[in-house]
Amino acid sequence: MRRPWSDVAIKECGEPLQSLRGTFLCLEPHPYAKLGAPYGDQGDPFRLRASVIARLVRAQNQLIQHPDPEVGPLQLLVLDAWRPVSVQAFMIEHAIEEECGRRGLNPSKPQWQTALDEVKREVSRFWAPPSEDRSMPPPHSTGAAIDLTLADQRGAALNMGGAFDAIGSESLPDHHASAAKANPNSPEALWHQRRCSLHAAMKQAGFVRHPNEWWHFSHGDQLWAWTVAESIAVYGRVDGDACAAASSSATRSSPSRFT
């Protein structure tokens, strides 16, 4: 499924990936590595572009100033960050298999083809295609996108009213908004408030949120550029420790005006 932001031009700035470890709480073991995703020798997934990490520090500081009503001071818990295209392809197949299992489908049987096609369409709402075309890279392959949630000061993840990577409406950012409005003392109201707190901290730091995922944020990639009406993205696909030389344009561009 082609995304509405796929046509945004990319002028790769060449900024390197840097580690999130030691600065942010990172989920261990890494959820996709645990499944056997093919990272190979491509390096640590808990990495982002340097300027994106600086913004993440700002979001973390913002959260510290706004404690959760139940658990007090908060911190970010990083679920996933940089992701090579090979892992993107692996995880899409895994998501399809998981969803088929949840629905009781056997994808090998011809009579289930229509139902299988529906599963693939639903999965594609949440997982970007593993495109090898450098003009339309999967967001996580750019080192500019991150999946995260909220945790308390002990490192325990908070209940956000929907599991990370869930395929379904509970993953939509405002899924609990109506229930929260109807009953401000309900669990749904707390979950909605937490999603709003995460979004507010990330937005203040310059990130945009994926329209279908409460946990996915980015800065400087095509989704970000499309959302904020910028004409170009400054981060294209990056492979391991080396930034992509060029994507849709050979012209270099400094990311400074976006920081």
pLDDT one-digit tens code per residue, 129-141: 999 999 999 999 9
Strands 232-233 and 9-10: parallel
Tokens 């083809």 map to which residue? 113
**Averaged pLDDT, 199-220:** 98
Q: At what angle do helices 50-64 and 187-204 cross, to 10 degrees?
A: 130
The 3-state DSSP class for residue 48 equals strand
Exposed / middle / buried, residue 184 (Cβ in 10 Å: 0-12, 13-18, 19+): exposed
**Averaged pLDDT, 136-150:** 97
The per-residue pLDDT for 109 is: 79
Give 69's DSSP letter: T
Rg (CA), the chain: 18
**Averaged pLDDT, 161-179:** 97
> Where are the chain's structural domains?
9-258
- Select which of 132, 188, 213, 230 is catalytic: 213
User: Which secondary-structure segment (H or E) carries 218?
Assistant: strand 216-218
| Angle, vertex CA 48, rays to CA 45 and CA 222, nearest 5 | 110
Strands 216-218 and 25-26: unpaired
- Sheet containing strand 216-218, edge to edge, reads 25-26, 74-80, 145-152, 216-218, 208-209
Q: Is the pLDDT of residue 250 over 50?
A: no
Alpha helices in 47-84 (DSSP H): 50-64
The per-residue pLDDT for 241 is: 56
Cis ω before 29 (30° cut-off from 0): yes
Q: Is the pLDDT of residue 32 over 70?
A: yes
Please give the share of the chain, as a percent, with pLDDT higher than 90. 79
**Averaged pLDDT, 48-57:** 98
Q: At what angle do helices 113-124 and 85-103 cross, to 10 degrees?
A: 130
CATH level 3 topology of 9-258? Muramoyl-pentapeptide Carboxypeptidase; domain 2 (3.30.1380)
The per-residue pLDDT for 13 is: 96
Q: What is the rounded CA–CA span in Å between residue 243 and residue 248?
A: 14
Please give the share of the chain, as a percent, with pLDDT higher than 70. 92
Q: Is the pLDDT of residue 150 over 50?
A: yes
- The number of beta carbons lying within 10 Å of the beta carbon of residue 96 is 20
Q: Is the pLDDT of residue 258 over 50?
A: no
User: Which secondary-structure segment (H or E) carries 74?
Assistant: strand 74-80
The per-residue pLDDT for 106 is: 85
In the predicted model, what is the mean pLDDT of the chain?
90
Q: What is the rounded CA–CA span in Å between residue 157 and residue 215?
A: 13
**Averaged pLDDT, 12-17:** 96
Which has more confidence, 47 or 114? 47
pLDDT (tens digit, 9 = 90+) per residue, 59-112?
A: 999 998 888 888 989 999 999 999 999 999 999 999 999 999 999 988 777 777
The per-residue pLDDT for 255 is: 39
Is 122 among the catalytic positions?
no
Q: What is the rounded CA–CA span in Å between residue 189 and residue 181?
A: 7
The per-residue pLDDT for 152 is: 95
